[in-house]
Amino acid sequence: MEIKRDIYLDKLIRRKNNGLIKVITGIRRCGKSYLLFHLFHNHLLETGVPEDHIIEVALDDRRNKKLRDPDAMLQFIDESIKDKEDYYIILDEVQYLDEFEDVLNSLLHIRNADVYVTGSNSKFLSSDVITQFRGRGDEIHVYPLSFSEYTSAYHGTLDESWDDYLVYGGLPLILPPQEDVSRASQVLSLLDGLLLAGGDDIDPAYYDEKTLPECGLITPIRDTWEMPLCREALHRHLPLLGICRGLQVLNVALGGSLVQDLPSQCPDSPICHQQTQPPEVATHPVRVDAQSRFARIIGAESLMTNSHHHQAVKQLASGLTATAWAQDGIIEGVEKIDEPFCVAVQWHPERLWSQPDGLPHRALFAALVDAAKSAAV
């Protein structure tokens, strides 16, 4: 079955014959070659372009090694163009071509040539191709398959496709805490979404409280890094998912506060929020606001969750909306409804997604991926 990549194919079609070099970027194996050599090639044929008017060269193929010489490449293209009709030149992995900038400049002088090139390694991506061809180049950045694209060609159940997608799809980038918080903006410019993960307690100084004896381990460098990272992600309207501590970081970063220790500060709660069962076991129900984004994501107004936290939201930050609660009233989910996608939960869905009733927890990650995909378009 053919995998449709209509978002990118439509971008190529809209840019046909616009007088610019179409520069298709993306990591290796993300589908650039398939997009050009198969999907776009078929589109050209279907619209009446003769086969011999499509000039394709895969420069990472050793059989084309001679064409990595710039003069040999230009001679080959000149000899392939035999009339004044439109020709479509597709050069794959152009970073293999010596002096490729000069070659691309030369191709711009061929009036009946529409040029498409791909590249993926650091040499190509760091050579400021678009900067050099400002006014003459048009970049299309291709990402790996989204979950919806993957499932369109998957033979199996939705659960099976999700399991395989987690193994074979998606490109998470782990962000170690940085002492230089000014790098937050630079780092986020590389991302299409942000997941704030669980971890240690947040220093109460961030919400103007003294540290209680019951407060747990604090990792200052994470607090120092994640607070500005979270704010900058929201400033960029980057899709954001918070998990456990991630929810608390979101709340504190926006001016909210936390219960430092649930057992000592909320002793009458009937729920043990630090369960003794394994994290793969859901131990208490959570009620979900039926009108919330979260309810739409999971397709339900309640679900069973695990619980591995001794802190929780005390004062909800301005701009956040509580959308899920435990039976004792503890906030278990929040959203920032004026953002394209900003959802955070107090439990650990990553430990429950593989369970028989784990579909709602998987749906959270699928929603983040879909939101990131939309943001990247």
Beta strands in the chain (DSSP E): 21-25, 54-58, 87-92, 113-119, 137-141, 194-196, 240-243, 258-259, 284-288, 302-305, 312-313, 321-326, 331-335, 342-345
- 116 phi and psi angles, rounded to 5 deg: -130, 130
Catalytic residue (one of 273, 284, 309, 348):
348
Q: Is 348 a catalytic residue?
A: yes
Catalytic residue (one of 226, 232, 332, 350):
350
Q: Cα 308 vs. chain centroid, distance in angstroms?
A: 27
Sign of the CA dihedral 125, 370, 343, 358?
negative
Nearest to 197 by CA among 260, 261, 239, 248: 248
Catalytic residue (one of 30, 244, 342, 361):
244
DSSP for 286-337, please give it. EEE-TTSHHHHHHTSSEEEE--B-S-EESSPPTT-EEEEEETTS-EEEEE-T
- Cα separation of 225 and 326, whole Å? 30
Q: Are 232 and 184 in contact (CB under 8 A)?
A: yes
Q: What is the residue whose two structure tokens read 């219960």?
A: 259
Q: Is 350 a catalytic residue?
A: yes
Please give the positions annotated as active site: 244, 348, 350
